Amino acid sequence: MRKRVAGALVALVLMAGCDGPPPEPQEAAQTLEELAAKAGCVPDIGTEAAEIRQANCRTETGSYVLATFATDRGQQEWLDAANDYGGNYLLGRKWVAAGDEKVVTELRGRLGGTVTTGVHHSGSGEGHTGGHHGS
């Protein structure tokens, strides 16, 4: 009887060590079509590749680009390149919407995500918000 109780206690201790708070659920990546439907647009797909799918969309608020990515790294590389041109971006899990501030703000209400603004780098003084001047 003592062996059974001791065995049960050992099993409980081992199981308690494995138990912890459940892992945070990750937001599931959505398809371009799912995002476009939530945003209320019919996507005009311009890029269809393994790494990225990109479409132009238009709502009553204005036009924007909607892109989905196969990997988080692909999304980050796209955003790094796009940031050099300035602009407003709505970022989600493996997707980006890019457009005017008003459009991005309106989309956030429909899609969620985080709004960010790129820094425009150009040789002209017009519209320059930071970074370096051309050589």
Q: How far apart are CA 16 and CA 48, in angstroms?
A: 48
Q: Are strands 52-58 and 63-69 parallel, antiparallel or unpaired?
A: antiparallel
Q: For position 120, what pLDDT does the model report?
A: 60
Query: Taking residues 54-79, what's their average pLDDT?
Result: 94
Q: Is the pLDDT of residue 87 over 50?
A: yes
pLDDT at 76: 94
What pLDDT, on the 0 to 100 scale, is given for residue 27? 52
Q: Quick one: which H or E segment has residue 11?
A: helix 2-18
pLDDT at 119 over 90: no
23 pLDDT higher than 80? no
* 32 within 8 A of 45, measured Cβ to Cβ: yes
User: Residue 59 in contact with residue 41, Cβ under 8 Å?
Assistant: yes
87 CB-near residues (< 8 Å, 6+ apart): 98, 99, 117, 118, 120
Average pLDDT over residues 75-94: 91
pLDDT for the residue numbered 22:
41
* Helix or strand (DSSP H, E) at 13: helix 2-18
Question: Which residues on adjacent β-strands are paired with residue 58?
Answer: 63
